[in-house]
Each structure stands twice: as C-alpha cells, then as structure tokens.
Structure 1
Amino acid sequence: MKETEISTATIRMSIVEAGEGPLVFFCHGFPETKYAWRHQIEALAQAGYRAVAPDMRGYGKTQAPAHPDQYTVFHAVGDLVALLDALGEQQAVLVGHDWGATIAWQAALMRPDRFRAVVALSVPMMGQPPAPPSRIFPQDDKSLFYTLYFQDPDGAEAEFGRDVDLTLRKLIFAASSEAGPRLPGDRTPNPFGMVSRSAGLLEDLPEPATLPGWLPALDFDRLVKDFKTSGFRGGLNYYRNLDRNWELQHATSGQTVNIPALFMIGERDTGLSIPGMDQIIAGMPALVSDLRGSHVIPEAGHWLQQERPKEISEAILSFLKNV
C-alpha cells in the first residue's frame, strides 16, 4: 500500500492505493481518514482489484478549501469524478462509510456512467426531506442535536481542537461496539445525539482507559497526527452544508439509484438510536432499485470496516464478483 498525492481538475488529493485490476474507490467519514480502509485495501488488492482511498477534501493531506460552502456533496462527487479522470480510469465501484456513504449514494445517483456499483456502510440511502434539515433536527433551551451543534465554529471546532488525542479517543470509543447496544431511547452516551448547550459534546462521553482492541496504537497515533495537522474544520464543514445540500438536491429529487448496491450497518451503530432509522433502512428498495443486500453485522459498532475488517472485506468481495 503506497501513499501519493495527485492533482485533479478540482483539488489536490492524498490517496493510498494498492493492487491492479478493476478500480474500487473507498470514501471515509468523520472523524477518519483514508487509513480507515487499510484492511479492505489490502484484501481487495490481493484479490485482483485496484483499491484507492483518498483523504476527502478538508481531511488529512488533501487540500482544504477555505470557504465552508465548498463542502457540499456536489463538490465531493465532483472530486471523485475528477480523481477518476486523473487516474486515467473510466469507471469505479464506490465503497463509502458515514459521510463517505452519503457521498457514495449521491455519486451513484448523479453519475451512474462513472460509478458502476456502490457499497454503503452505516448510512442508508434517504429520500428528500420535506424541509431543510436545520428545521427538522431537535433542539430546546438546554440541548440541541449534534449536527446543529457542529454549525458553530466556536462550539465543536473549538472544543475538539483543544485536545485532539482526547477528542478522538472519546468519539471513537463512544461510537464503537465496546460502548454497548444502540436502541431507540437507549441511555448509552452517544456522540452523535443530543448535545448540552452549556457543557458541549465531549464532557458526558466516557474516557476509555485503553484503545479498542481493533485500533492499534500506531494507527490511532497516525489519526491524531493527521487531525493535529488538518484540524476539524474541513470535516465539520460537511455538516455546515446540510441545508445547502437539501436545496441543491432538488435537482435530483425523485430519481432512484439504479446501479447494483449493497448496504451494511453494525448492530450497535449509533445511528440505530435515531427514531425511525429502522423504517428508513427497510424502505431503501423504493430508492435503490438494485439493492442486493441490506445486512446488520452482529455486535459491530459504527466503525464497521475497522471493527469487523475480515467480515466486511469478504462481503465487499462477494458483492464485486457479481457486478
């Protein structure tokens, strides 16, 4: 697996890649980098694929545009198309997790000519909501939904940047399988739930004595180093475009994803505690015409591809054989 930088028509990107053969892109989420896919890159390279994972815009060593409005899903999809061109490839399969899954779904919707199949982890395909997200997410005098908390640079951005090591330890542990089950109404501390207006997000999250068993210290140290270099602004800017995405996505409202697709989510994923998430997942066939599987991975948390690397890699390879 080698790390390189490549200039595309839209942005300068840092990528890791391995192998030769049909191209597969891996898109990470928040707060991660391209190395979240290290296990899958090696597995697919050994199986005869060209596996490429970029740091998404604003993350790691990839260029970080200065203006928050340059972090829409349309910008991110454009980056992937431009990366295809820069690599001299016509098509790729997309695999995405968290925000990377959202971007992968939208790329599948917008550019089925360039992306021939899609695998999404943790975030299902969703239809257009009836109102801008900022008007739907809950809030009251004492707390607000985390996506609303992420809007203010003096909030999450300042809080997360004070101690990058502690921030990542708390976020990763609290969204992992080690933190416990995730059911509607569950009281397990959830980093992606309601946030105290006075205390912030991190205070109520447990500080783990050790890293999760699936995250070696060297890999965690590399993640910390990347976020100390880049900061959290780029990653948080994706959340700051939720309403803008809603406006722009009226252009594709009513369209369906028609390329082969696979969905997986961990049994203990934090997203499953959101009311109505089970109905959203069950309703995906109406939005994804060629959904070839929707699987709940037992005892896995939000960091699915790292917590269950062998199982996820095998599921991706099985899917790829038939597309």
Structure 2
Amino acid sequence: MHDLKHHRLNANGLMFRVAEQGEGPLVLLCHGFPETSHAWRHQLAALARAGYRAVAVDMRGYGGSDSPSESSAYSVFDIVGDLVALLGVLNESSAVIVGGDWGGTVAWQAAQLRPDLFRAVVGLGVPMMGRAPTRPSSLFPKTNSAIFYTHYFCEPGLAEKEFERDAEATLRKIYFAASGNAGPRDDPNTPNPFGMVARDGGLLDALPDPEVMPDWLSPTDLELIVSSFNSSGFRGGLNYYRNLDRNWELQAGLNGQQVQVPALFLIGERDTGLAIPGMDQIIKSMPELVPHLRGSIVVPKAGHWLQQEAPAQVNAALISFLQSL
C-alpha cells in the first residue's frame, strides 16, 4: 500500500510542507482556517486507494510552511501563485484542486485563473461567489456593542494575541462551535465562532469549552494540530482575512469571469456559512458562475469541518466526481 510521506518543497520562493500519498493523476488538497494539511488525513488514504496522487499542502502561513511577515503577502493571487509553482515542483502538468474554507476560496480562484492547470475543482463549505458590488469591509456588520468576526480578525495583533494565549483551548472552542456537534444553525443557542464579536471581549469568550471533543477529532489529531499552531502562531492564517479588501480590488479584471472546468460543491447542513444572510441564494445561483457544476451536495448534520466530520460521504462524492472526469 502507498505510504503517507511528508516532505518539504521549495516553490514560489517559499518552503512548503506537504503530505503525499498514492500514485496517479494529481489531486491537490487545500485547507482553511485554522487548520493544516492534517485536515485531509482521511482523504489522502482514500484517494491513494482509488488510484490518485493526493497531495495536501500546509498553505502559506501555516504549519511547517513558510510564513512571510508582511500581511500584504497573503492575497488570493499570492496563494494561487504558490499552487501553480507547486505543480511545477511536483512535475505535474495539471491537477484537480479541492479546497475547504479559505482553501475553497483559493481553489475556485485557481480554477477561474488557470483552467489550463486546474482541470476540475471541488469546493467544500465556501461556494464560488461573484465579486461584491463594494469592498467587503463595508458589507460586514458593526454595531455599538459588537463587530463581525472578519473586522476582529483584521485588527493587527488583536486576534493572534487572544488565540496564542492557549492554542489548544482556542482550537477546541473554534472546532467544536463550528462543527455539526454544536447544534443546528437555525437554533439561536448554537454557538458560532464566525459571527459577531463583542467589542468589550474576545471571540473565544462567547464559545463553550467542550469537556470532550467530538469523536471525529481524536486527542492525537488535536495534539498534532495544536503543536503546528504552537510553532507557527495564528498570524499567517489571520493575514488571509487582512487581504479581503485587497483581493476585491485585484479581482476587478476578473469580474463576470466564469469557472470553465467541471466542478462539485459540498456543504455541511450545519455549516456556519449558512447562518450568513443570502448564502442559500448564492449557492442556488452558482451555475451562473460555474456552468459545469456537477452538483451541490448537502451533508446531513455535518458542520464546517466537512472533510474531517463526514469523511465517508466526502470521499465517496470526491472519488465519484474524479472518476466521472
């Protein structure tokens, strides 16, 4: 059987830590915030068994990969540049790109920009969205008592100070609150780490600290992810949010451009994103931007960490999509 290998590659002027398993057509796996390549542990083995070369990357700013100090180095275009360069280093002429959360945003953008390299795309949790009518920071809510979490993340030094105080407690709280285990998203009592943050507190204050983590995240898995964040810190991941307005500015030239490759979308029924007003409409109208969308699959009871929470359903959908290409 193909063993899982970890190695470091030099691409686009940075060092990247990747996890790799299997041989065959390349499937490139891109994680989100706050995760590492370990988020794809269940997919690597399944894809290898199905006859694919599965490569999961610690994205720029995360885990064992380099983390440039300037926050301006984290635009979606910089990240797509990393993936284009990684394809060359891996000696591959094309890949199917799969992404969840921020990795999903990057995957859609990669397929939109370079259909010659990314021959198909799978997005988890984050749909392909058109360019907003105005800069994102002006769309996110602020009240006298609270601000939307993206505003909180964009304040230099603020969120990292809170999160790095105790990385394990931070990850426990965020993973639990955004998971399907926290409860249905239409229940006002279900915690949501990606909502409003009180101006007189931090993001973690409003989240429960579970005594026992859900069974999809074993103590060993959590320990591995915590040790990654203890060494990398959270700044790299937060810098993705600090480029939301800049991404919007840079995307002007792509306005109206469709994703012209085969695509698949999956989302957990209890994904935190579904609490955002209008998200269901964005998902419904995706075929206008993604004409070759093969399906939008809603996974019952799963939350935001879809590939970790519901690996069997995700693997089955992924392999079926890959085999249809």
TM-score (norm 1): 0.98
1:104 CA displacement: 0.1
Alpha carbons 1:10, 1:78 under 8 Å: kept: no
Alpha carbons 1:84, 1:90 under 8 Å: kept: yes
1:10 CA displacement: 3.4
Match of 1:232 among 207, 231, 234: 234
Supply the AA of the counterpart residue of 1:177.
Answer: G
| 2:289 counterpart of 1:292 | no
Match of 1:2 among 2, 5, 10: 5
> Which residue of structure 2 aligns with residue 61 of structure 1?
64
Q: Which runs of 5+ in 1 are unaligned?
A: none
Alpha carbons 1:22, 1:92 under 8 Å: kept: yes
> Which residue of structure 2 aligns with residue 247 of structure 1?
249
CA displacement 1:24-75 (0-9 Å, x = unmatched): 0000000000010010000000111000001000000101011000000000
Alpha carbons 2:12, 2:81 under 8 Å: kept: no
d(CA) in 2 for partners of 1:7, 1:154: 29
Match of 1:93 among 93, 96, 101: 96
Match of 1:321 among 317, 320, 323: 323
Computed over aligned residues only, the root mean square deviation of the Cα atoms, in angstroms, reads 0.8
Q: Which runs of 5+ in 2 are unaligned?
A: none
Alpha carbons 1:19, 1:48 under 8 Å: kept: yes
d(CA) in 2 for partners of 1:9, 1:258: 25
Supply the AA of the counterpart residue of 1:103.
Answer: V
> Which residue of structure 2 aligns with residue 268 of structure 1?
270
For residue 203 of structure 2, give the secondary structure of its aligned residue in structure 1: coil
d(CA) in 1 for partners of 2:64, 2:12: 17
1:222 CA displacement: 0.4
1:140 CA displacement: 1.2
Match of 1:71 among 69, 74, 78: 74
1:251 CA displacement: 1.6
Q: Answer with 283-292 or 151-160: which moved more.
A: 151-160
CA displacement 1:184-211 (0-9 Å, x = unmatched): x734221000001111110110010011
> Which residue of structure 2 aligns with residue 45 of structure 1?
48
d(CA) in 1 for partners of 2:260, 2:148: 32
For residue 150 of structure 1, give the secondary structure of its aligned residue in structure 2: helix
| 2:207 counterpart of 1:205 | yes
For residue 56 of structure 1, give the secondary structure of its aligned residue in structure 2: coil
> Which residue of structure 1 aligns with residue 184 of structure 2?
181
d(CA) in 1 for partners of 2:156, 2:249: 22
Supply the AA of the counterpart residue of 2:285.
Answer: G
1:9 CA displacement: 2.9
For residue 205 of structure 2, give the secondary structure of its aligned residue in structure 1: coil
Match of 1:310 among 304, 312, 317: 312
| 2:39 counterpart of 1:36 | yes
d(CA) in 2 for partners of 1:135, 1:88: 42
Percent identical across equivalent pairs? 60
TM-score (norm 2): 0.98
d(CA) in 2 for partners of 1:136, 1:26: 30
For residue 314 of structure 2, give the secondary structure of its aligned residue in structure 1: helix
d(CA) in 2 for partners of 1:172, 1:258: 33
- Aligned residue pair count: 322
d(CA) in 1 for partners of 2:243, 2:24: 35
Runs of 4+ in 1 over 3 A off after TM superposition: none
For residue 5 of structure 1, give the secondary structure of its aligned residue in structure 2: strand
| 2:171 counterpart of 1:168 | yes
